[in-house]
Amino acid sequence: MQVIRTGSIGLDSALGGGWKPGTLNEIWGDPGAGKTVLALHTVESVVRDRKDVLWIDTVDGVAHMDRAPRVIVYRPRNAERAFEVAEHGCRWDSIGLVVVDSANYLIRQRELDGDPDYVPHPQREYKDELTSLKRAAKASGTVVLFVSQPRDKDREPVRGTGISEKVEHRVHLHPDVVHQDGTREVRATVKHVPTKAVTHDAAYFTVIPGQGIDREREMVEEGIKRGIIVKRGSWLAYHNVQAQGVAEMARALAERLQYMDDLDIEVRLSAGIS
């Protein structure tokens, strides 16, 4: 299986093309940062490649996901069952992506039962399960994506999942600007965990409520940055299309799908993405 696109051209570039097959990855950030939106765009990429998705929903956080084509939704009763199903999902030939949303609500049955002798590990609660899942994902080439947010340090018991130590990439989303209409301008930082290399400001993209990532706008901004779209003052030009400002150029190219496809190819070639 090929790399899986994230929905953000800038983030794809920072990840070396997208999410790598056979890896565990994490999208991390505060509530409202766009984590689930990014995960949904990843799902879209997988479904377009005619592969299935296993969505392990621990918080019932995405409405109507059960009706999405080629998406299998599972709501686990505890953390043990969630990891067991995720590992089985990696072994199914038709599944290209396993999403766990949200990893913060993975809770062992002993804790749910109120076992007084159970004390969770403060840093690596799911070390063994993650090791086994990582092995299964690597063997099958399946991408596993965890959606996480900062721990509630006031909550007892404090539990550290250990996910951030086992993943290939950890993408941290920062909502830099939130407009009155709910549109968010998001900045992404990428950490390659095995080498501890961090790519600051790896990508900037806009999230529109009810629509997701504004890919046309991001594509235009990437085209400007790479010199593919000519910028003269506030005016932009690409082939025979001219517009004033990024938003107008994105709108103009969205109406000319062939030009947008051409721009996508040129940007990806410039970024070294196949």
Tell me the CATH number at 241. Answer: 3.30.250.10
Residue that terminates a domain, selected from 188, 213, 238:
213
Q: pLDDT tens, 132-147? A: 999 999 999 999 999 9
Q: Is residue 114 part of a domain?
A: yes
Is 109:78 a contact under the CB 8 Å cutoff? yes
Q: pLDDT tens, 26-53? A: 999 998 899 999 999 999 999 999 999 9
Q: Tell whether 85 and 175 lie within a shared domain.
A: yes
Q: Tell whether 200 and 221 lie within a shared domain.
A: no
Q: Which residue has the higher pLDDT, 156 or 269?
A: 269
Q: Tell whether 59 and 40 lie within a shared domain.
A: yes
Q: Tell whether 246 and 136 lie within a shared domain.
A: no
pLDDT at 152 over 80: no
Q: Tell whether 231 and 99 lie within a shared domain.
A: no
Helix, strand or coil for residue 32? coil
Q: d(Cα 110, Cα 216) in Å, to the nearest integer?
A: 48
Q: Which residue has the higher pLDDT, 4 or 155?
A: 4
Average pLDDT score over residue span 250-254: 94
pLDDT at 131 over 90: yes
Q: Is residue 255 part of a domain?
A: yes
Q: Is residue 136 part of a domain?
A: yes
pLDDT at 249 over 80: yes
Q: Tell whether 65 and 88 lie within a shared domain.
A: yes
Q: Is residue 54 part of a domain?
A: yes
Average pLDDT score over residue span 100-108: 93
Q: pLDDT over 70 for what percent of the chain?
A: 97
Q: d(Cα 227, Cα 221) in Å, to the nearest integer?
A: 10
Q: In this structure, what CATH number is given to the domain that contains residue 123?
A: 3.40.50.300
Q: Tell whether 186 and 222 lie within a shared domain.
A: no
pLDDT at 57 over 70: yes
Q: Tell whether 208 and 223 lie within a shared domain.
A: no
Q: Give pLDDT, residue 65.
A: 80
Q: Is residue 78 part of a domain?
A: yes
Q: Is residue 116 part of a domain?
A: yes
Q: d(Cα 44, Cα 169) in Å, to the nearest integer?
A: 20
Q: Is residue 4 part of a domain?
A: no
Q: Tell whether 168 and 263 lie within a shared domain.
A: no
pLDDT at 188 over 90: yes
Average pLDDT score over residue span 210-237: 94
Is 259:253 a contact under the CB 8 Å cutoff? yes
Q: Tell whether 117 and 230 lie within a shared domain.
A: no
Binned at pLDDT 50, 70 and 90, residue 273 comes out as confident
Q: Give pLDDT, residue 151.
A: 75
Domains identified in the chain, total number: 2
Its domain, for residue 19, covers 9-213
Q: Tell whether 121 and 197 lie within a shared domain.
A: yes
CA distances from 18 to 28, 190, 205, 213, 256 (A): 16, 12, 15, 16, 26
**Residue 14 CA from chain centroid, whole number:** 13
Residue that terminates a domain, selected from 163, 179, 213:
213
Residue that terminates a domain, selected from 213, 239, 257:
213
Q: pLDDT tens, 156-177? A: 677 789 999 999 999 999 998 8
Q: Is residue 1 part of a domain?
A: no
Q: pLDDT tens, 6-32? A: 999 999 999 999 999 999 999 999 988
Q: Tell whether 209 and 134 lie within a shared domain.
A: yes
Residue type, 128: D
Q: Give pLDDT, residue 154.
A: 65
